[in-house]
Amino acid sequence: MRSGCCPEPEGGGRHLIYGHVYKTARDEDGNHLSQGEVRDVPWVAIPPVVRAIRVLERIVPAGGLLFGATSHDFPKHRKLSGSIKHKTAGVRIEAFATWVSDLAARLGRPHEIVPKDPHGAIGTARFRRTLAWHIARKPGGLVALAIHYGHLRTSVASAYASRSRGGIHGLLDIETARATADTLATLNADLADGAGISGPAARRAIHVAAQAPTFLGTILTARQARDLLNNPNLAVYDNPNAFVMCVYKPDRALCHREGTKDAPSLDRCVSTCANIARTDRQADLLIERAETIEKAAASSPEPLAERLNGNAAKLRERAERHHRDRIKTDTPRESAR
Protein backbone atom coordinates (compact mmCIF):
# COMPACT_ATOMS: atom_id res chain seq x y z
CA MET A 1 0.00 0.00 0.00
CA ARG A 2 1.32 3.41 -0.94
CA SER A 3 1.13 6.80 0.76
CA GLY A 4 -1.34 9.30 -0.62
CA CYS A 5 -3.90 6.70 -1.78
CA CYS A 6 -6.44 7.48 0.91
CA PRO A 7 -9.04 10.13 0.02
CA GLU A 8 -10.97 11.74 2.82
CA PRO A 9 -14.50 10.30 3.28
CA GLU A 10 -17.23 12.49 1.88
CA GLY A 11 -19.13 14.59 4.39
CA GLY A 12 -16.89 13.57 7.27
CA GLY A 13 -18.20 10.02 7.11
CA ARG A 14 -17.36 7.25 9.54
CA HIS A 15 -15.42 5.17 7.04
CA LEU A 16 -12.62 5.83 4.62
CA ILE A 17 -12.10 4.05 1.32
CA TYR A 18 -8.66 3.53 -0.08
CA GLY A 19 -6.92 1.45 -2.68
CA HIS A 20 -4.85 -1.61 -2.00
CA VAL A 21 -1.74 -2.52 -3.98
CA TYR A 22 -1.05 -6.16 -4.77
CA LYS A 23 2.69 -6.36 -4.14
CA THR A 24 2.80 -9.87 -5.63
CA ALA A 25 1.11 -8.84 -8.87
CA ARG A 26 2.48 -10.12 -12.19
CA ASP A 27 1.99 -9.09 -15.81
CA GLU A 28 0.52 -11.22 -18.60
CA ASP A 29 3.87 -12.95 -19.13
CA GLY A 30 4.22 -13.87 -15.47
CA ASN A 31 6.85 -11.23 -14.68
CA HIS A 32 6.75 -9.60 -11.26
CA LEU A 33 5.45 -5.99 -11.23
CA SER A 34 7.67 -4.15 -8.78
CA GLN A 35 5.25 -1.23 -8.55
CA GLY A 36 2.39 -3.56 -7.68
CA GLU A 37 -1.14 -3.36 -9.01
CA VAL A 38 -4.07 -1.46 -7.52
CA ARG A 39 -7.09 -3.64 -6.83
CA ASP A 40 -10.39 -2.79 -8.49
CA VAL A 41 -12.46 -3.11 -5.30
CA PRO A 42 -11.52 -0.55 -2.61
CA TRP A 43 -11.04 -1.41 1.04
CA VAL A 44 -13.38 0.25 3.56
CA ALA A 45 -11.72 1.05 6.88
CA ILE A 46 -13.07 2.19 10.23
CA PRO A 47 -11.73 5.36 11.95
CA PRO A 48 -8.96 3.69 14.05
CA VAL A 49 -7.49 2.19 10.89
CA VAL A 50 -7.78 5.54 9.14
CA ARG A 51 -5.87 7.27 11.94
CA ALA A 52 -3.14 4.63 11.80
CA ILE A 53 -2.77 5.15 8.05
CA ARG A 54 -2.61 8.92 8.52
CA VAL A 55 0.30 8.45 10.94
CA LEU A 56 2.07 6.19 8.47
CA GLU A 57 1.58 8.75 5.69
CA ARG A 58 3.40 11.32 7.83
CA ILE A 59 6.29 8.92 8.37
CA VAL A 60 6.91 7.99 4.72
CA PRO A 61 7.43 10.27 1.69
CA ALA A 62 4.50 10.97 -0.63
CA GLY A 63 3.92 8.06 -2.98
CA GLY A 64 6.14 5.73 -0.95
CA LEU A 65 5.16 2.40 0.58
CA LEU A 66 3.44 2.84 3.93
CA PHE A 67 5.70 0.12 5.31
CA GLY A 68 8.72 1.01 3.19
CA ALA A 69 11.92 -0.49 4.57
CA THR A 70 13.91 2.75 4.31
CA SER A 71 11.33 4.89 6.09
CA HIS A 72 10.93 2.34 8.89
CA ASP A 73 14.63 1.69 9.47
CA PHE A 74 14.59 3.99 12.48
CA PRO A 75 17.79 2.82 14.23
CA LYS A 76 20.20 2.94 11.26
CA HIS A 77 18.43 5.01 8.57
CA ARG A 78 19.78 2.84 5.78
CA LYS A 79 18.77 3.09 2.13
CA LEU A 80 16.75 -0.06 1.56
CA SER A 81 14.36 -1.20 -1.15
CA GLY A 82 10.87 -2.62 -0.88
CA SER A 83 8.83 -3.04 2.29
CA ILE A 84 9.81 -4.38 5.69
CA LYS A 85 10.16 -8.16 5.94
CA HIS A 86 8.12 -10.63 7.99
CA LYS A 87 10.94 -10.92 10.52
CA THR A 88 10.98 -7.17 11.09
CA ALA A 89 7.20 -7.09 11.42
CA GLY A 90 7.44 -9.86 14.02
CA VAL A 91 9.97 -7.85 16.02
CA ARG A 92 7.63 -4.84 15.87
CA ILE A 93 4.73 -6.94 17.16
CA GLU A 94 6.80 -8.11 20.13
CA ALA A 95 7.86 -4.51 20.82
CA PHE A 96 4.23 -3.40 20.66
CA ALA A 97 3.17 -6.08 23.17
CA THR A 98 5.95 -4.93 25.52
CA TRP A 99 4.86 -1.30 25.18
CA VAL A 100 1.24 -2.19 25.92
CA SER A 101 2.25 -4.12 29.05
CA ASP A 102 4.47 -1.30 30.31
CA LEU A 103 1.71 1.25 29.76
CA ALA A 104 -0.87 -0.95 31.50
CA ALA A 105 1.46 -1.35 34.48
CA ARG A 106 2.08 2.40 34.74
CA LEU A 107 -1.67 3.09 34.61
CA GLY A 108 -2.44 0.50 37.26
CA ARG A 109 -4.36 -1.81 34.90
CA PRO A 110 -2.70 -5.21 35.45
CA HIS A 111 -5.58 -7.05 33.76
CA GLU A 112 -4.57 -5.44 30.44
CA ILE A 113 -0.95 -6.62 30.55
CA VAL A 114 -0.10 -8.95 27.68
CA PRO A 115 1.08 -12.20 29.35
CA LYS A 116 4.27 -13.93 28.29
CA ASP A 117 3.58 -16.54 25.65
CA PRO A 118 4.85 -20.01 26.63
CA HIS A 119 5.18 -20.88 22.94
CA GLY A 120 7.64 -18.09 22.24
CA ALA A 121 7.47 -15.08 19.93
CA ILE A 122 4.07 -14.22 18.46
CA GLY A 123 5.11 -13.40 14.89
CA THR A 124 2.91 -12.16 12.07
CA ALA A 125 1.00 -15.40 11.43
CA ARG A 126 0.01 -15.93 15.06
CA PHE A 127 -0.77 -12.24 15.53
CA ARG A 128 -3.14 -12.39 12.55
CA ARG A 129 -4.85 -15.49 13.86
CA THR A 130 -5.21 -14.03 17.38
CA LEU A 131 -6.82 -10.93 15.92
CA ALA A 132 -9.08 -13.06 13.76
CA TRP A 133 -10.13 -15.13 16.78
CA HIS A 134 -11.44 -12.09 18.62
CA ILE A 135 -13.12 -10.51 15.59
CA ALA A 136 -14.85 -13.73 14.48
CA ARG A 137 -16.53 -14.07 17.87
CA LYS A 138 -18.34 -10.76 17.67
CA PRO A 139 -21.80 -10.28 16.08
CA GLY A 140 -21.19 -9.67 12.41
CA GLY A 141 -17.57 -10.62 13.00
CA LEU A 142 -17.28 -12.73 9.88
CA VAL A 143 -17.95 -9.74 7.65
CA ALA A 144 -15.70 -7.51 9.75
CA LEU A 145 -12.94 -10.08 9.56
CA ALA A 146 -13.21 -10.24 5.79
CA ILE A 147 -13.25 -6.45 5.40
CA HIS A 148 -10.29 -5.80 7.65
CA TYR A 149 -8.14 -8.30 5.85
CA GLY A 150 -9.08 -6.58 2.62
CA HIS A 151 -11.00 -9.51 1.17
CA LEU A 152 -14.70 -10.26 1.01
CA ARG A 153 -15.75 -13.88 0.70
CA THR A 154 -18.57 -13.05 -1.73
CA SER A 155 -16.50 -10.98 -4.14
CA VAL A 156 -12.86 -12.06 -4.03
CA ALA A 157 -11.45 -14.48 -6.56
CA SER A 158 -9.84 -17.66 -5.29
CA ALA A 159 -6.62 -16.71 -7.06
CA TYR A 160 -6.09 -13.68 -4.86
CA ALA A 161 -7.23 -15.46 -1.72
CA SER A 162 -4.43 -17.97 -2.19
CA ARG A 163 -1.83 -15.17 -2.13
CA SER A 164 -2.37 -14.55 1.57
CA ARG A 165 -0.72 -16.95 3.96
CA GLY A 166 -2.92 -20.04 4.15
CA GLY A 167 -5.66 -18.32 2.14
CA ILE A 168 -8.17 -15.93 3.66
CA HIS A 169 -11.05 -18.30 2.86
CA GLY A 170 -9.48 -21.00 4.98
CA LEU A 171 -8.88 -18.53 7.82
CA LEU A 172 -12.48 -17.37 7.73
CA ASP A 173 -13.77 -20.94 7.72
CA ILE A 174 -11.56 -22.07 10.59
CA GLU A 175 -12.30 -19.13 12.86
CA THR A 176 -16.04 -19.24 12.10
CA ALA A 177 -16.17 -22.98 12.77
CA ARG A 178 -14.23 -22.61 16.01
CA ALA A 179 -16.59 -19.86 17.15
CA THR A 180 -19.53 -22.18 16.42
CA ALA A 181 -17.87 -25.03 18.32
CA ASP A 182 -17.23 -22.72 21.30
CA THR A 183 -20.88 -21.64 21.30
CA LEU A 184 -22.04 -25.27 21.26
CA ALA A 185 -19.60 -26.24 24.01
CA THR A 186 -20.73 -23.39 26.28
CA LEU A 187 -24.37 -24.28 25.72
CA ASN A 188 -23.70 -27.97 26.36
CA ALA A 189 -21.83 -27.21 29.60
CA ASP A 190 -24.59 -24.88 30.84
CA LEU A 191 -27.30 -27.45 30.13
CA ALA A 192 -25.27 -30.19 31.84
CA ASP A 193 -25.03 -27.95 34.93
CA GLY A 194 -28.83 -27.71 35.08
CA ALA A 195 -29.38 -24.45 33.23
CA GLY A 196 -32.66 -23.94 31.39
CA ILE A 197 -33.41 -22.81 27.88
CA SER A 198 -36.52 -21.32 26.29
CA GLY A 199 -37.80 -20.13 22.95
CA PRO A 200 -39.18 -21.70 19.76
CA ALA A 201 -35.83 -23.29 18.93
CA ALA A 202 -35.04 -24.50 22.47
CA ARG A 203 -35.35 -28.23 21.74
CA ARG A 204 -33.35 -27.92 18.56
CA ALA A 205 -30.64 -26.14 20.56
CA ILE A 206 -30.56 -28.97 23.12
CA HIS A 207 -30.22 -31.53 20.35
CA VAL A 208 -27.36 -29.63 18.67
CA ALA A 209 -25.53 -28.94 21.96
CA ALA A 210 -25.32 -32.67 22.62
CA GLN A 211 -22.97 -32.92 19.64
CA ALA A 212 -20.52 -30.31 20.97
CA PRO A 213 -17.91 -32.76 22.37
CA THR A 214 -17.49 -34.21 18.88
CA PHE A 215 -16.10 -30.95 17.49
CA LEU A 216 -14.46 -29.13 20.39
CA GLY A 217 -10.70 -28.99 19.89
CA THR A 218 -10.79 -30.92 16.61
CA ILE A 219 -11.01 -28.04 14.12
CA LEU A 220 -7.44 -27.69 12.94
CA THR A 221 -7.75 -27.47 9.17
CA ALA A 222 -9.94 -25.65 6.66
CA ARG A 223 -11.42 -28.98 5.54
CA GLN A 224 -12.51 -29.85 9.08
CA ALA A 225 -13.97 -26.38 9.42
CA ARG A 226 -15.98 -26.73 6.22
CA ASP A 227 -17.35 -30.08 7.39
CA LEU A 228 -18.86 -28.33 10.40
CA LEU A 229 -20.03 -25.22 8.55
CA ASN A 230 -21.66 -27.27 5.79
CA ASN A 231 -23.75 -29.19 8.30
CA PRO A 232 -27.09 -27.31 8.45
CA ASN A 233 -27.97 -29.00 11.75
CA LEU A 234 -25.03 -27.32 13.50
CA ALA A 235 -25.77 -23.73 12.49
CA VAL A 236 -25.89 -22.10 15.92
CA TYR A 237 -24.95 -18.45 16.49
CA ASP A 238 -24.60 -16.55 19.74
CA ASN A 239 -26.02 -13.03 19.55
CA PRO A 240 -24.98 -11.17 22.73
CA ASN A 241 -26.43 -7.88 21.51
CA ALA A 242 -29.93 -9.37 21.37
CA PHE A 243 -29.40 -11.71 24.38
CA VAL A 244 -30.47 -14.73 22.34
CA MET A 245 -29.05 -17.67 20.45
CA CYS A 246 -29.95 -18.32 16.82
CA VAL A 247 -30.46 -21.98 15.87
CA TYR A 248 -30.53 -21.11 12.22
CA LYS A 249 -32.97 -22.55 9.71
CA PRO A 250 -33.02 -20.40 6.54
CA ASP A 251 -36.67 -21.04 5.70
CA ARG A 252 -37.76 -19.84 9.17
CA ALA A 253 -35.52 -16.79 9.48
CA LEU A 254 -37.20 -13.39 9.84
CA CYS A 255 -33.94 -11.44 9.51
CA HIS A 256 -34.05 -11.97 5.73
CA ARG A 257 -37.12 -10.53 4.06
CA GLU A 258 -36.35 -11.79 0.60
CA GLY A 259 -35.04 -15.25 -0.16
CA THR A 260 -32.84 -17.31 2.13
CA LYS A 261 -29.21 -16.90 3.18
CA ASP A 262 -26.62 -19.36 4.42
CA ALA A 263 -26.19 -17.39 7.66
CA PRO A 264 -28.39 -15.10 9.79
CA SER A 265 -28.12 -11.31 9.94
CA LEU A 266 -27.57 -10.93 13.67
CA ASP A 267 -27.91 -7.15 13.48
CA ARG A 268 -31.51 -7.61 12.28
CA CYS A 269 -32.65 -10.19 14.82
CA VAL A 270 -36.47 -10.36 15.24
CA SER A 271 -37.80 -11.33 18.68
CA THR A 272 -40.63 -13.42 17.21
CA CYS A 273 -38.37 -15.53 14.96
CA ALA A 274 -38.77 -19.32 15.15
CA ASN A 275 -34.99 -19.73 15.25
CA ILE A 276 -34.55 -18.05 18.64
CA ALA A 277 -33.53 -19.74 21.88
CA ARG A 278 -32.58 -18.10 25.18
CA THR A 279 -30.54 -19.52 28.06
CA ASP A 280 -30.54 -18.68 31.78
CA ARG A 281 -27.25 -16.85 31.22
CA GLN A 282 -28.85 -14.61 28.58
CA ALA A 283 -31.93 -14.03 30.73
CA ASP A 284 -29.68 -12.80 33.54
CA LEU A 285 -28.02 -10.41 31.08
CA LEU A 286 -31.47 -9.08 30.17
CA ILE A 287 -32.06 -8.18 33.82
CA GLU A 288 -28.64 -6.55 34.11
CA ARG A 289 -29.35 -4.50 31.00
CA ALA A 290 -32.76 -3.48 32.35
CA GLU A 291 -31.19 -2.31 35.61
CA THR A 292 -28.63 -0.23 33.70
CA ILE A 293 -31.37 1.42 31.65
CA GLU A 294 -33.45 2.14 34.76
CA LYS A 295 -30.48 3.87 36.42
CA ALA A 296 -30.09 6.04 33.32
CA ALA A 297 -33.82 6.80 33.37
CA ALA A 298 -33.63 8.01 36.98
CA SER A 299 -31.39 10.92 35.94
CA SER A 300 -33.08 11.70 32.62
CA PRO A 301 -35.82 14.23 31.76
CA GLU A 302 -39.39 12.91 31.85
CA PRO A 303 -40.04 12.13 28.15
CA LEU A 304 -36.74 10.26 27.80
CA ALA A 305 -37.08 8.62 31.21
CA GLU A 306 -40.50 7.26 30.27
CA ARG A 307 -39.12 5.76 27.07
CA LEU A 308 -36.14 4.23 28.88
CA ASN A 309 -38.33 2.70 31.57
CA GLY A 310 -40.56 1.27 28.85
CA ASN A 311 -37.55 -0.41 27.23
CA ALA A 312 -36.40 -1.77 30.58
CA ALA A 313 -39.86 -3.19 31.23
CA LYS A 314 -39.77 -5.05 27.90
CA LEU A 315 -36.43 -6.61 28.79
CA ARG A 316 -37.72 -7.70 32.20
CA GLU A 317 -40.82 -9.20 30.59
CA ARG A 318 -38.64 -11.27 28.23
CA ALA A 319 -36.57 -12.52 31.17
CA GLU A 320 -39.72 -13.43 33.12
CA ARG A 321 -41.13 -15.25 30.09
CA HIS A 322 -37.91 -17.22 29.81
CA HIS A 323 -38.07 -18.39 33.44
CA ARG A 324 -41.75 -19.23 33.01
CA ASP A 325 -41.28 -21.30 29.83
CA ARG A 326 -37.76 -22.68 30.29
CA ILE A 327 -37.03 -26.37 29.89
CA LYS A 328 -34.07 -28.50 30.96
CA THR A 329 -32.28 -31.44 29.46
CA ASP A 330 -34.02 -33.82 31.87
CA THR A 331 -37.25 -32.93 30.05
CA PRO A 332 -38.10 -35.70 27.50
CA ARG A 333 -36.58 -34.56 24.23
CA GLU A 334 -38.43 -34.22 21.01
CA SER A 335 -36.66 -34.87 17.74
CA ALA A 336 -35.04 -31.79 16.18
CA ARG A 337 -37.50 -30.38 13.71
Tens digit of each residue's pLDDT, the chain (337 residues): 555 555 444 333 334 444 455 555 566 676 766 655 555 545 555 577 778 888 888 888 887 888 888 888 777 778 877 788 888 888 888 888 899 999 999 999 988 898 888 878 877 777 777 776 776 666 556 556 655 554 433 333 333 333 344 455 666 677 777 778 888 888 888 898 899 999 999 999 999 888 877 776 677 777 888 888 788 888 888 888 889 999 988 888 888 766 667 778 877 888 889 999 999 999 999 999 999 999 999 999 988 999 999 999 999 999 999 999 999 886 444 434 4
Quickly list H helices, 39-140: 47-59, 86-106, 123-136
How much is the CA Rg of the chain, to the nearest whole Å?
24
Residue 285 CA: distances (Å) to CA of 21, 120, 244, 282: 45, 38, 10, 5
Helices (H), strands (E): how many in the chain?
A: 11, 8
Instruction: Collect contacts of 122-126 with beta carbons under 8 A, ≥24 apart.
Output: 122/90, 122/93, 122/94, 122/97, 123/86, 123/90, 123/93, 124/86, 124/89, 124/90, 124/93, 125/165, 125/166
Contact 180, 174 (CB under 8 A): no
What's the pTM value of the predicted model, to 2 decimals?
0.54
